[in-house]
Amino acid sequence: MSGIKIISTGRALPSKSVTNDDLAQIVDTSDEWIFTRTGIHSRYFCAEGESALTLAIKAADNALSASKITKDDIGCCIVATLSADYATPSLACLVQTELGLPEDIPVFDLNAACSGFIYAMETARSLLTCSGKKYGLVIGVEQLSKILDMNDRGTCVLFGDGAGAAVIECDDDLFYESVLGAKGGKEICCPGVNEGANGSKSYVSMDGKAVFRFATSAIPKCIEMLHEKVDFTLDDIDHVVCHQANSRIIDHVIKKLKADPAKFYKDMDHLGNTSAASIALALSEMDDDGLLQNGQKLLLVGFGSGLTWAGMLITYDKK
């Protein structure tokens, strides 16, 4: 089977950082309550003139510049998001035009919520394998601040905006495997444009305890499913990058797996939960901080609304 490797990353954050103390001015909450339950201290919200589109363009541009390949080499462009600027045109098509990507390639958005970036990476791999093209651009982006009910302290403190991107290269004989899954349910729900047609705005709602149970079982399940396909242990993996929903979810899993906490990257303290952007953002931060070295093996795990889950074993190999 052809696999993919990550050859560059990029990211973009809005200009406005919102601390827990800032939110405590709006709803009845505190830094202590939010941080002890989620590991989040602050997050970014889009300011005037910023949107999922502006973030996606910047993150993609950064990843492409770092890749040392030409735009003409890109064989597909996929954006994972649940908060695009428009139902149509897709963010991916608008990024394509802005960055001058080729026209004879598949370009589209994909919604698998917080598992979206991994879904998009595997979809890109499949498309590249079929087309025989070598490189793909995959972006995870969210502007969740526009679908947050700022009167609901149970949800508005959890999420943030941001974008991450990766350029991937398709090749044979790579350390690569993926598992994708889903089971329909409304544990995390945002009614979207249809129910908002009467003028009412639609917001994210969530059954927090049910999501906690789902998330803490989805991560070990993805690892187990990958293990059925590839002979590996966590000792073989340099970094585990889970969807950055909540620090307690990751801590719970580390304990359950008796794993080394140092392998599990966390950045929700300053980014919050950025859904489809979170794994891509984490990879880009790790890249810039020098944590990623060529040849390192990564385990990515996503879980989220849908409900969806996704696991991926992939190599980092900067051009």
Which residues are designated catalytic?
114, 243, 273
Of 21, 154, 260, 289, which lies in the binding site for ligand ACO, with binding defined by CB under 6 A? 154
Of 158, 240, 268, 312, which lies in the binding site for ligand ACO, with binding defined by CB under 6 A? 158
Residue nearest to ligand ACO (CB): 208
Q: Counting contacts by CB under 6 A, is residue 212 touching ligand ACO?
A: yes
Q: Which residues contact 233 (CB under 8 A, 6 or more apart)?
A: none
Q: Counting contacts by CB under 6 A, is residue 303 touching ligand ACO?
A: yes
Q: Which of 144, 147, 170, 149 is nearest to 159 (CA)?
A: 144
Nearer to ligand ACO, 229 or 255 (CB): 255
Binding mask 83-122 for ligand ACO (x = CB under 6 A): -------------------------------x--------
Cα 136 to Cα 64: distance, rounded to the nearest angstrom: 10
Nearer to ligand ACO, 212 or 232 (CB): 212
Nearer to ligand ACO, 34 or 282 (CB): 34
Q: Counting contacts by CB under 6 A, is residue 279 touching ligand ACO?
A: no
Nearer to ligand ACO, 34 or 124 (CB): 34
Of 7, 18, 34, 180, which lies in the binding site for ligand ACO, with binding defined by CB under 6 A? 34
Nearest distance, CB of residue 289 and ligand ACO, angstroms: 23
Q: What is the CA radius of gyration of the chain?
A: 18
Using CB under 6 A as the binding criterion, the count of chain residues that bind ligand ACO stands at 23
Residues 21-26: contacts with CB within 8 Å, 24+ apart?
A: 23/153, 23/156, 23/157, 26/150, 26/156
Cβ-in-10-Å burial (0-12, 13-18, 19+) of 99 comes to: middle
Q: Are strands 239-242 and 3-12 parallel, antiparallel or unpaired?
A: unpaired
**191 to 88, 126, 147, 148, 317: CA distances (angstroms):** 17, 30, 10, 12, 40
Q: Where along the sequence are the contacts to ligand ACO (CB under 6 A)?
A: 29, 33-34, 37-38, 114, 153-154, 157-158, 188, 206, 208-209, 211-212, 215, 245-246, 248, 273, 303-304
